[in-house]
């Protein structure tokens, strides 16, 4: 199936994804191949839930072959939140793309991703 025409979409559904970031680069949000959808990422919040230690976050768009970095080694202080993507700088996940994340410390970082599923 082809990606939708963004000028005349059939459906736009607001969604929120939640992801506990691991120490290896892994998909936080994926748009499967041949989904017939595009995912418009409006915001990505990264919260450090460790009350003592800072941790670093990497965030990429993966096209099935290569990771392209949106954020690389961004420090998130203990008990703080870092905004990585904003509505003013939104991005699209095309069919077969994934938003992937990696933390410098296990169980320290959590992502909340606000997006629209467009078909």
Convert the pLDDT of each residue in 22-67 to its tens digit. Answer: 999 999 999 999 999 999 999 999 999 999 999 999 999 999 999 9
Number of separate domains in the chain: 1
- What Rg, from alpha-carbon coordinates, does the chain have? 15
Domain presence at residue 58: yes
Q: What is the pLDDT of residues 6-15, one digit of tens each?
A: 888 899 999 9
Classify residue 9 by burial, with Cβ atoms within 10 Å: 0-12, 13-18, 19+. Answer: middle
Hey, which bits of the chain come out as E strands?
12-20, 26-30, 38-48, 55-62, 67-76, 81-85, 91-93, 98-103, 109-118
Domain containing residue 65: 12-118
- pLDDT at residue number 4: 77
Q: What is the residue whose two structure tokens read 């690389």?
A: 72
**Per-residue model confidence as pLDDT tens digits over 65-85:** 999 999 999 999 999 999 999
Q: Is residue 6 part of a domain?
A: no
Q: Is residue 4 part of a domain?
A: no
pLDDT at 2 over 80: no
**Neighbouring C-alpha atoms within 13 Å toward the C-beta of 36:** 5
**7 is a domain residue:** no
What was the pLDDT predicted at 47? 98
Q: Which CATH number does the domain housing residue 25 bear?
A: 2.60.120.340
Q: Is pLDDT at 1 greater than 60 in this prediction?
A: no
The verdict on residue 53 lying in a domain is yes
| DSSP one-letter code for 105 | S
Cα distances from 34 to residues 4, 54, 62, 97, in angstroms, run 11, 39, 16, 11
- The per-residue pLDDT for 115 is 98
Write down the pTM of the prediction: 0.94
Report which of residues 8 and 108 the model is more confident about: 108
């Amino acid at each position: 199936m082809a990606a939708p025409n963004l000028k005349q979409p059939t459906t736009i559904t607001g969604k929120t994804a939640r992801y506990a970031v691991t120490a290896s680069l892994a998909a936080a949000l994926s748009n499967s191949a041949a989904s017939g959808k595009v995912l418009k990422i409006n915001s990505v919040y990264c919260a450090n839930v460790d009350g003592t230690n800072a941790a670093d976050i990497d965030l990429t768009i993966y096209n099935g072959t290569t990771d392209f970095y949106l954020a690389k080694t961004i420090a998130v202080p203990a008990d703080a939140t870092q905004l990585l993507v904003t509505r003013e700088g939104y991005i699209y996940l095309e069919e077969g793309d994934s938003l992937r994340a990696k933390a410098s410390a296990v169980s320290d970082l959590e992502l909340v991703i606000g997006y629209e599923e467009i078909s």
